[in-house]
Amino acid sequence: MAKKVALVTGAGSGIGRAAAVALATEGYSVGALGRSADELEEVAGQIESSGKEAIALVADISDEQQMRDAVEELIGRFGRLDVVVANAGINGVWAPIDDLTLDEWEQTISINLTGTFLTIRHSVPHLKSSGGGSIIVVSSINGTRTFTTPGATAYAATKAGQVAMVQQLALELARHNIRINAVCPGEIDTNIDANTALRSEEETAIPVIWPEGQVPITGGKPGRSEDVASVIAFLASDAARHITGSPVWVDGGQGPLR
């Protein structure tokens, strides 16, 4: 059999980087996709230094032509596609609904939701050609299990939309032997806060005193990117062959607490 191939978006850092490394460890050749060439080359170099194969793919997931070209470049290099991790996204602007601008709303929708659509849209034909595969969408507990993040209306809407997309596509893609699932992380030690703009929090925050520590299973500490990557690797594998259309919350108990 040809070596299996995985595409990971947002692979330059955080969960995407951990997922790319985890899948390479499982024997996949990896297409590491993102917007920062330097970060992607570093990840690809790390994977190659362990004796595995990787390619850096620079693309904006919200740009259809760039995504089409990136997927074609991946296929040109490795000849097939078996696993897709649609991870790339932003927090965007968190603000009161009457303060959130249309441009801010559309940026979050474009990257998180349209970007997920384009990633899947241009990957599915190649998964079909490979005889099936697995798609893992990285959503969040926000919009799927918790609704208490101040001003996160646009973000929560995209994360809920991703889970709806997963559940809708599970039946459509099953006949092609393609599974699709979502992982919904809670607080994880990534740098996603770098693309978060929080405005007028006092107008939207709920005046509640939470128990000490947000993540019960770790004594309040955030989870690690590797904690999410391990679940992604499982959902990509044949061990998850009977799982599709399912959200999996990786939050250390944070969701039920909130």
Residues marked active site are found at 155
What is the spatial distance between Cα 34 and Cα 88, in angstroms, rounded to a whole number?
A: 8
With beta carbons less than 8 A apart as the criterion, state whether 148 and 258 touch. Answer: yes
- Read off φ and ψ for residue 189, nearest 5 degrees: -80, 70
| Identity of residue 183 | V
The torsion angle over the Cα atoms of residues 144, 249, 13 and 31, rounded to 10 degrees, is -100
Q: How far apart are CA 142 and CA 241, in angstroms?
A: 27
**Contact partners, residue 113, CB within 8 Å, separation at least 6:** 157, 158, 161, 162, 165
Q: Tokens 């965007």 label which residue?
A: 92
CA distance 67 to 117: 11
Instruction: Find tokens 């080359």 and name the residue.
Output: 41
Strand pairing category for 83-86 and 133-138: parallel
Please provide the DSSP assignment of 77-115 as one string. Answer: HHS---EEEE-----EEE--TTT--HHHHHHHIIIIIIH
Distance, CA of 147 to CA of 244 (rounded, Å): 25
